[in-house]
Amino acid sequence: MQEQERFFNELVRKYSEQLYWHVRAMVGSHEDADDLLQDIFIKVWKALPSFRGDSDPFTWLWRIATNETISFLRKSRVRAALSFSRVDAEAERVADPNPFFDGDEALRQLRKAIAGLPDKQRLVFTMRYYDDLSYEQISEITGTSVGALKTSYHIAYEKVKAFLTDPD
């Protein structure tokens, strides 16, 4: 048990900040990212006994985080649908001015464009663009083939480009 706790704390120390930015890029708001990070690390702690020492902790951690984030985004969409707000309105909500947004107008538009992407495309785009992960790493995390990921990224890239060219 002590060994597990030591390993858990090591994961927290090494990856929590990087994981925060990954989650933040996916969900937009600081409060959502903070809540989600707590949930992710609770899942990590519970799953720790099943972690095999020979696998890469980074990939394992990112896989849990990715599943939790996608599930969070799905729930947010259901909540938005139940409250009759539109998905693009939700995307605007997370991208619009908030106290912890530092970017200029161009970055805000980029954020809005990314927030409007479907979950899987947003995930691939975020992992490539912000996290700077290779297709091979993303493939290991998501269980999707490199070819499919390249296609997803290309489509996402084109959508973002089109949005930035003509936001309306």
Chosen residue from 26, 30, 140, 143 binding another protein by CB under 8 A = 30
- What gap in Å lies between CA 119 and CA 108, rounded to an integer? 19
Binding segment (CB under 8 A) for another protein, from list 24-32, 51-59, 84-92, 150-158: 24-32
With beta carbons less than 8 A apart as the criterion, state whether 143 and 66 touch. no
- Closest by CA position to 149, among listed 162, 75, 141, 50: 141
21: Cβ–Cβ under 8 A, 6 or more apart, which residues?
130, 131
- What gap in Å lies between CA 41 and CA 18, rounded to an integer? 13
- What gap in Å lies between CA 57 and CA 76, rounded to an integer? 28
Q: Can residue 132 be called a binding residue for another protein (CB under 8 A)?
A: no
Binding mask 50-89 for another protein (x = CB under 8 A): ----------------------------------------
Q: Can residue 103 be called a binding residue for another protein (CB under 8 A)?
A: yes
Q: Can residue 20 be called a binding residue for another protein (CB under 8 A)?
A: yes
By CB under 8 A, name the binding residues for another protein.
4-5, 8-9, 12-13, 16-17, 20-21, 24-25, 30, 34, 37-38, 41-42, 45-46, 100-104, 107-108, 110-111, 130
